[in-house]
Each structure stands twice: as C-alpha cells, then as structure tokens.
C-alpha cells in the first residue's frame, strides 16, 4: 500500500488517467478508490488536483468512446460479449436497456456509479443510435460527476484516508488474503444462483433461415419479441412479431390456441431472456422455439439476402 501511495505522489495524475482508462475499457481496476486517495493527497498538497481532474475526464470519455464506436458498428454483439463474462448476463443487458428507456442520456451519468452497468452503458448508447454530440455531452457530464464525487470525498476525508492506508499497510498480506477470500465467496454464490436459474425444461431452437422459410411459406408461427422498447425502436422487429414483456408471457400464453407454434427472441447473451420466456410457455403446454442468435441474427440474414439480391 505504501508503494501505491508513493506512486500516486510521484505520478498521481498519470496513474489516475491510466487506471481510469483501463477501468472504462472493462478491466477490473479500482479507479474510484484510487481517485479518493488522489483527492486526499491533493488536499495535502502532494499532487495537482486540477490536472488530476482533467486527466480523469479525458480517460473517462476516451474509454467510453471506444465502446460507443463498437456499439454503433456492431450493435448488440458487443453487449453480448461484455455481458457474457457477467454472472448475470440477462440482467446485464436488460438493466442497461431499462436505464436508457427511463432516463435516456441521464443513464450515461447514472451508469458511472452502477457496478456492472458502467462499461455496458456506452456501447448500449451506440447500439441504440445515440448521436455523437449527445453521447459526448452526456458522457462528459457523467465523467465530471464521477470525478468530482471521488475527489471531493478524498479531499474531505483526507485525514481518515491516510489512517486507513496506514492500517492496511500494517495488515499487509492478511488484508489482501481476507479480501480475496470474500471476493471468491461472492463469486461462488452468484455462480450457484446463475446455475440454478438456468435449470429448467430443454428449449428447442430455430435458426433465422428456418423462421424465414416459415414466414415466406405462409406458415408463420406466433412470434414474441421480449426485448425492451428502446431496442425495438432502434432496430425494428421481425415481421409479424408481437412486442411483449416477460411479465406478460403467462397471461398471453393462456390466450393462445392449444396447437399454437410460438417463436420467442431477444438480443441478450445466449438468448437468456427468450429462454426464460420459452420456459414459461413450455410449462403452460405450448410448442415453443427460441430464435437462435436473436434479432441480430435475423438482421444478419436480411443483410445477406439484400447482398445476394444486389
């Protein structure tokens, strides 16, 4: 811990820039706590707070801009990649969609303070076609709020921060081991919950090509789109699909004919939302299939058909 403090004293603003940039890029680095320590050292006159704040803003916007570009170019494929490493991949995507649906640009500000969503917010904005001007303005506002909160906290608690750092330095290896054990226990608990939530009836899959054949042949099944409204507005829907929330599935299923063929799709890692909806429908006796790859796979098929026609 003394080494970290010495590093901050000697190269504080650059350390904050590097760790913040890596954190915004998705690396598990403690940028927030380091910024608190930087605020405390700045209050004690051991580093420049203005330079630190400017470099923190720059690192935030640069890191988020990379993911924003990825979201605009590759859509939900980037989000699925990011959320796949999460132990709650479906929640990762849907929570981000929900934030954008409720708060629009403000979600980029709020996401800075929400673990698990902060890295996903920028590519989500790109996938939902937010303009560059709006993205930079909102992201800069979020970066300013995030930087100010942690620097001011460190400035206000400068005495306590030094005492905590000294105590952690005295504990040394024991503190690191204890923290590691707690982290492993938390990860194990979440993994068990994820495995339990994934158990259930086996769900059939259907490819976009197969679904297209059914639709073009006049044998279109009942198609449910369980994505968030903002996602539908940004990229459209499969022809004939019905927009429906997960909480509406059971009610709608009881209204279907007993011989109905249902296809469900989303745009989340491993089609998690669609699988959840299909599981409910299967329990109610419906013949259900999940569209493999979700709406992005359907759009890819449509794009291939357009190229072939050209």
pLDDT tens per residue across span 198-230: 445 578 999 999 999 999 988 889 999 998 888
Q: Please state, for a pLDDT cut of 90, what percent of the chain lies above it.
A: 26
Query: What is the model's pLDDT at position 62?
Result: 94
pLDDT tops 90 at residue 34: no
Q: How far is CA 251 from the centre of its chain?
A: 29
Pairing of β 242-243 and β 204-206? unpaired
Q: What is the mean pLDDT of the segment spanning 181-208?
A: 65
Which pTM was predicted? 0.63
Average pLDDT value over all residues in the chain: 80
E strand segments, the chain: 204-206, 222-225, 242-243, 261-265, 287-291
SS3 118: helix
Kindly list the structural domains of the chain, giving each domain's residue range(s) and its CATH number in brackets, ordered by start.
Answer: 2-194 (no CATH), 204-309 (3.40.250.10)
For residue 269, what is the DSSP state?
G
| Predicted local confidence at residue 190, as pLDDT | 56
Q: For residue 263, name the pLDDT band (cuts at 50, 70, 90).
A: very high
pLDDT, tens digit, 9 for 90 and up, residues 108-161: 888 888 766 677 888 888 888 889 999 999 999 999 999 999 999 988 888 776
């Amino acid at each position: 811990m003394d080494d970290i403090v010495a590093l901050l004293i000697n190269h504080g603003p650059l350390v904050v820039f590097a760790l913040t940039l890596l954190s915004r890029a998705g690396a598990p680095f403690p940028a927030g706590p380091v910024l608190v320590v930087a605020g405390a050292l700045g209050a004690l006159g051991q580093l420049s707070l203005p330079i630190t704040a400017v470099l923190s803003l720059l690192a935030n916007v640069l890191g988020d801009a990379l993911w924003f570009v990825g979201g605009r170019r590759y859509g939900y494929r980037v989000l699925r990649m990011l959320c796949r490493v999460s132990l709650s991949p479906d929640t990762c995507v849907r929570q981000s969609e929900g934030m954008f649906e409720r708060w629009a640009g403000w979600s980029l500000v709020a996401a800075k303070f929400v673990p698990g969503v902060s890295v996903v917010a920028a590519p989500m904005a790109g996938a939902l076609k937010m303009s560059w001007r709006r993205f930079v303005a909102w992201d800069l506002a979020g970066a300013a709020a995030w930087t100010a909160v942690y620097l001011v906290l460190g400035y206000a608690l400068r005495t306590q921060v030094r005492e905590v750092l000294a105590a952690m330095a005295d504990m040394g290896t024991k503190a690191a081991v204890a923290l590691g054990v707690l982290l492993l226990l938390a990860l194990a608990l979440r993994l068990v919950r994820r495995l339990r939530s994934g158990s259930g009836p086996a769900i059939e899959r259907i490819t976009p090509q197969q679904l297209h054949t059914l639709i073009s042949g006049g044998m279109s099944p009942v198609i449910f789109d369980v994505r968030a409204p903002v996602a539908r507005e940004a990229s459209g829907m499969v022809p004939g699909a019905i927009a429906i929330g997960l909480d509406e599935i059971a009610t709608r299923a009881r209204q279907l004919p007993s011989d109905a063929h249902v296809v469900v799709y989303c745009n989340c890692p491993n089609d998690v939302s669609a699988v959840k909806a299909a599981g409910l429908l299967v329990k109610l006796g419906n013949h259900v299939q999940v569209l493999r790859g979700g709406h992005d796979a359907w759009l890819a098929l449509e794009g291939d058909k357009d190229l072939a026609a050209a």
